[in-house]
Chain A
């Protein structure tokens, strides 16, 4: 390919991909926890995406980039997994850690949540959710992907996306309620 062709391709890629940088970075932050790791993952994501841009035929650019980012993060976790990982646990077991997904609060925690606008607290609680619930709620409620996009990205049926999202939101709400209960 000529230099001109390369330059043109890069230009098209930048125009298509760079507007989604914040979305990609956001998902990276929730997946990697460590900020520098997240930044590295985002950079690797964009480089890989450029390499595969010629074969890109869809889906929409945002879910495509997020899928690549997720693959980069997974590969990184796999690489790190030198120390024995905790035994695989089922989603049911993970969900069972939250024995009270639904508690009747004395105050409406949502009203409280709304009043305090405590963005940082919500962020922290979302980040505390176990996988795969965390990525599902981030993709839906923060990255604004449709159920179908999420299902394609995670390569699971839409029904699975729906049940994970229901669990994720129930856990998030329960944690919030708990936190409010124990707060001074």
Chain B
């Protein structure tokens, strides 16, 4: 009786340890996969994919919680690259998440109309707007990813999207 019991307990313990290792291992693989997916994303951080940024979208893709066609800024090239990385079927970007733009755009603040409310600065995911409370704001065009997140919060509607300077 006792040897049998000890054997069973020992086997259970060994299996538990192995399972814990495997879990940690797969956790590491999953993180690596998230990194690889994130490297393919355009880093616009616009959230049009319905996630809070590029890395959260990458994590959702790795979990199988999102599809590969949810990134309009990346366009069809990104969708194709994601399909090839994840071994899924290639398909074009779903227009429900937004239109694929043909040329890069950046935000531009009409400085004459800006009232210095800092709402756009708080909304900018990549710190590309400079300014201070009650002072004029401006977009650093070279740092702007064109996410358009600064447009809705502006109370005086003084931000427009313009073609990126070349």
| A-B complex is real | no
